[in-house]
Structure formats: C-alpha cells, structure tokens
Structure 1
Amino acid sequence: MGTRTETTPTPPRAGRSLSRRHLLLTGAAALVAGTAAACGQGQPSGGGSGSAASPSGGASGSSSAGLRPVSVAAIPIVDVAPLHLAKDQGFFEEAGLDVSIEATSGGAIPFPGVSSGQFDFAFGNVVSMMVARSQGIGLKFFCSGSTTTGEPGNDNVALIALEDSGYEDIRDLEGKTLSSNQLANIGDTACRQAMDKAGGDGGSLEFIEMAFPDVQAALENGQLDAGIVVEPFVTPALQAGFVAVSWPYAEANPELDTGGYFASEDTIEKDPELVRSFRAALVKGLEYAQANPDEVRRITGTYTKIDPKVLADVKLPRFRAEFDMAAQEELAATARTYGTIKGELSVPDMFAEL
C-alpha cells in the first residue's frame, strides 16, 4: 500500500478481437465524444483556460437589464444540470444576476481560471480541490453540486469489465490493471477506497490513464481488466453486454459528494453578498433538479452532444447543496494514504462559511 505505480499496458490477449458489442458502442461514443473530452476531472494547473467562449469579464459592472453579470466555468456534463436549470428557470435573474455559463474543455481549467479572476465561480471535483488547497491555492467550495446516489447498480459511475471476465465484485480486481481518465484524482482514489472498504488492498490496484470513450476497446483487446466509465457511457456499455464489477463512488461512501461550486478566497472575503445570492439561486436549481429528473435530461441535451436516446436512459447523480463532511474527511485520508495529496490539507478549510 502507499505509492501508486504506473504500468505498461499489456498486449492483447490471444484470440481476442473486437466483438459486436464494441461496435454497438462506437456510434454512441462518437455522438458523445465532445462531452467526454470535457469530462476530464484533472488536477489544478497553471495553464490557460481553453474555454469555449470568452468569459463575461468577472463580477464587475452591470448588464443592460440592470442585472449583475457573473461568469461561471463548468464542464458540459450531466453533473452541472442544476446550474443550467437555475438559469433556465430564472432563479439567477430573480437574484439580480446575469449568469454566463462558460463551457470548459477539461476539469482542471476552472481552477486557474477562478484563481486568476477570469471566472467568478466554477464547478470542480473534490479531489482536485484537495490537491489545489494542499498546494496553497486560495480557493473554497461554497455549495455542493453532484453526489453519488449511494446505490450500487444505480449510479452514474461504474467499473466495467468483459462479460466473461469472471469478476463479480471489486475484491476480484485486487492486483489488476484498471483505467481512470485522470491519474491521481477522484477516480482512482475512490476505487482504492472502495477496495479497502471491501477488505482488499487498494494499493494493489494499478491504473493507466485512459479517456472514457476508449475503455470498451481496451477491455476487448486485453489492455485492461476493468475501466472506469461515467454516464453517458455506463448505460450503453451495460446494454452492449459489458458488466459492472463495481460502482466505486457508491461503494467508497454512499454519502460522497463528488463535485461542487467554488470561488476564490478573495471573492468570498470581499464580496460575500455576491456569493450568497448566487448560492441561493443555485440551491433552487439543485432542488429543482433533484425533484425533476426529466428536466435534468432535457436541459442536459441543450449543452451536450449526448444522443437523446442515450440520454433518456442514463443514470443521474444525486443533487444537494450541503457537503457531507465525514465523507470528505474519509476521501482525503485515502488521498493522503496513496500519495495523491502531498502537502498540508485541512478539510474544513476547503469550505466557505457564508
């Protein structure tokens, strides 16, 4: 247990060729490739934003309608549907805000974007925030955004394998090679935590970095034993005959909040009313999304390239505003154990008091 080691992908198993189930997934993968490229839950970096559109210039100034312009960076995935619904339903406008949602091409982009003042707020995953805070970057969450359902078999993240793999649960993957779309981040950390909780050795898992659309083919050619996929790839994979060996987020902790909305410490300290008003409207969006799954699917179709037929069946995360602190402490402990967090980190300090 301890330090993660990287492995060289193994050659294809003899006699293994692409099957019809992989071909069935190819069309769906092509339709959602744009979304998948934006699903990267990377660690913070000092790079540029790469946003799809120019931000509105931060929270300064006022719009022609007398509303205060606010820019929010968010990767275009199902998890941020409540943000889009809050705008669609007029919750932000009622709060006096003109919110511009800027689609970003990767999960790491919002962190330097908010730090530099390019964006007022952003959505990001919790392990990326842990890494940022441990590196001394002054960012804090002020609202949760996406939470595991806590129900294996009915969650939006799964570890999939071939139907004839013989793997039935995460303990069967001890010592095996898995994929994650970003190494040393939330995917592999949650898998290690789920393995430890099941009585296995999370340190025995080997991970290689792989984009979600590539997992099925890698399983077919023997490069992987199992791979992490998120919706909209989970449901099509299961329909095509792959099996879910584990639902790692739900098994790591049924109350695990996986992502949330954050701001710079400077904004929180100098403009708390802006943060409070934005959060209040966002909370309405979260509550609306949780109560109206059909609306989540509808609005997701307006900002992603997911095939409507796929979107109709995908499993949704849970939406709530408050973080479960015990689950965050537990995840942070796992991240420390396996070297994802190397600097000092106070979990309570990750969250703003408004």
Structure 2
Amino acid sequence: MRKPTVVTSILLSVAVLAACGSGDEDPTVDDGTDVGTATDGAGSAELTELTVGVIPVVDVAPLYLGVQEGIFEEHGLELNLQTSGQGAAAIVPGVVSGEFDIGFGNAAALITAHSQGFDLPVIAPGSSSTGIDGEDYVGVFVSAESDIGEVADLAGRSVAVNTLNSFQDAGVREAVDMSGGDGSSVEFVEVPFPEMLAALEEGHVDAIAQNEPFLTMTQEAGAQLVSSYLVDIAPDTPFLVAPYFTSAELRESDPATVEAFAAAVRESAAFATENQDAVREVLGTYTEISPEIAEAVILPQYLEEVAPAQMEFLIAFTERQGLVEEPVEIASLLPGE
C-alpha cells in the first residue's frame, strides 16, 4: 500500500499547544484506536492510505458514512481514522509533526496556528452551526432555578467550556458583548463536556457551553438554553466550526491525493445531508451514545464547500477576541482565494 509523503517531524512550540486548547479524553470514544478503513483489504494495494485525526463528535459523521458507503474507496483512498478527545490541541500538532496526514479541528484554533507561522491549509469543508436560533447544536445552558435569563446576564458569571482560547469562550464572550453586557467580565472554566452537567447541577459554575451530543443530554436533564451563541454572533452566515486541513508539504507534494480526499468529503457531506437517518445510525459506530440520544441530537450543517466569507468572518472574529498573534491572510488558509 502506498503511503503519501507527510510533513517532516518538528518540535511544536508551547504557544501552539496553548492556543489550540486542551482537554481530557472523551468517553464517547469507543476505543481510541484505529476506527475506520475504506476497504476489506482485497484491493487495498491500489489504494492510497491516509491517516486522519478526528474528534468523536457529530461533526465527523459524514467521514464515517463515506467510509461505510465506499465513497473514499471510489476515490482511491483508504482511511485510517484516529480519534482524539483533545481535539485541536492534539490534532493540529499531529498534522504538523506528520503523525496525521489530515486533521479535523476547530477553525479558530487553526487560524491561531497560522498566526504563529504554521502553514496548514484548509482542504475540505467540515461542519457549521445550523444558523437557527434555539435549534443549533451548540449552546449555553443554565439550571432551571437560575436567575440568568438571557445572554447579557452572563456578565460577571462563570461559564464552563471544553477548551479555553477557542471558539467556545471567545464566542460566548462576543455574544455577551453584542447583547450589551461586558464579555470581559465572564469567568471561563475548562471542564470536559461529559462533566459539565454535573458541574452545573452542583453549583460549581453558573452556566455551561455544551455541544452535541451532550447538548441533548443537558436539555433532557432540565437545564435551560439561554443562548445559541454561534447564531447570535453570526446571524447572516452560519459559523464555520471545523474544517479538514493538511500540511503545506503534503498539499504540494501530492496534490492529487489531497484533491481526492476533498472530493470524497464533499460527496460524503452531500450524502449525509440527504440521509439524516444514516447519520444518526452511524453515530453508534464511533461513539457510545444511545440510539435514543442519537435520534434526538441536533445535527450541524455538513458543508460541501468552505465559503470565503465564512473564513473572512472567522479571521476577523479571532482578531477581535485576541486569539491571534499576527494578522492572518485568507490565502494562507484557503489557497487560491
């Protein structure tokens, strides 16, 4: 099996690790090992193997569907899917070092890495907010007894987020500012998604910023939604949460393989959008959520293209929120734009 050339291993700076966040292993992962291939091995000698770093969340369901439906095999690819509960904190360094050929991670962390000089071009679309207030797959919740009734009331309160210095705390802070509150006065506490509900119920924090599938679990426990914060801050263009990216070296040395991956992702995203029942079913193959929760979760938008307007908004957003050290040009993130 031919293995494409990957970026030469280098030592990552502490700054990249800090900017891209941290987190504990997510118990929704089945086993944390190789969780997907595109072939049973019969014709694998003709396929190009790619190691892809992913997060076990609803956002990557199209990738698993694409493997299951043979879409990646049709494009000449075999995927070795490696899961990480740490998200961009592990996946961005993994792509830079060559551990992963391709990564999936939150766009804000990716822009932060670019501002620090790491060339990691976006090669395929991922997921975005639904753009529907009250029906997004991320949101801020408070207990049923809380006196917090709207997002502006979060000023001066504590909010749990999975990762600091990411779209979560930056997004909540911006939503508070836009509503007339003081976003700088919000205290953010890093708490893994699975532990957030307990932290809220035990009074350790005043609010929690949840993502699916934990958002549905939180709602079913009786917590109240106070903000679909990504919709609040990006009402006109759905907020790009996470795309797929690679190293500049791989993109330049093997553009055909990179384009094949991008084409397969686009096809898989279209399939997922048209087959929502299949999306909910495949969630059980790489997470441990129940069929009942899988049926109830709010799914993100699965994108077939990354719109330059979405990336331009994100660059401006990260600059406003102080997540970048140096200005980032859209051409470095979306080559050809």
Q: Which amino acid aligns with 2:288?
A: K
Deviations 1:140-195 (A, max 9, x none): 11112011001122111110101121322211212221111111111011112222
Structure 2: gaps of 5 or more residues: 1-24, 38-42
Mapped pair 1:198 → 2:176: no
Q: How do residues 1-354 of structure 1 correspond to structure 2 at under 5 angstroms?
A: 34-35=27-28, 52-53=33-34, 64-107=44-87, 108-254=89-235, 255-353=238-336
1:172 to 1:256, Cα distance in 2 relative to 1, 3 A = same
Task: Check conservation: 2:26, 2:192, Cα contact below 8 A.
Answer: no
Task: Check conservation: 2:34, 2:81, Cα contact below 8 A.
Answer: no
Q: Distance in 1 between matches of 2:29 and 2:225?
A: 19
Q: Measure how far apart 1:33 and its partner are.
A: 5.3
Give the structure-2-normalised TM-score: 0.84
Deviations 1:183-212 (A, max 9, x none): 111101111222233233322222111111
Q: Measure how far apart 1:215 and its partner are.
A: 1.8
SS of residue paired to 1:282: helix
Q: Which amino acid aligns with 1:185?
A: S
1:131 to 1:261, Cα distance in 2 relative to 1, 3 A = same
Q: Measure how far apart 1:121 and its partner are.
A: 0.9
Deviations 1:202-227 (A, max 9, x none): 22222111111222222223221111
Counting matched residue pairs gives 306
Q: Measure how far apart 1:54 and its partner are.
A: 10
Task: Check conservation: 1:37, 1:106, Cα contact below 8 A.
Answer: no
Q: Distance in 2 between matches of 1:348 and 1:198?
A: 32
Task: Check conservation: 1:257, 1:324, Cα contact below 8 A.
Answer: no
Q: Which amino acid aligns with 1:285?
A: S
Task: Check conservation: 1:142, 1:353, Cα contact below 8 A.
Answer: no
Deviations 1:89-119 (A, max 9, x none): 1111111112221222321222122112222
Give the structure-1-normalised TM-score: 0.80
1:278 to 1:36, Cα distance in 2 relative to 1, 3 A = closer
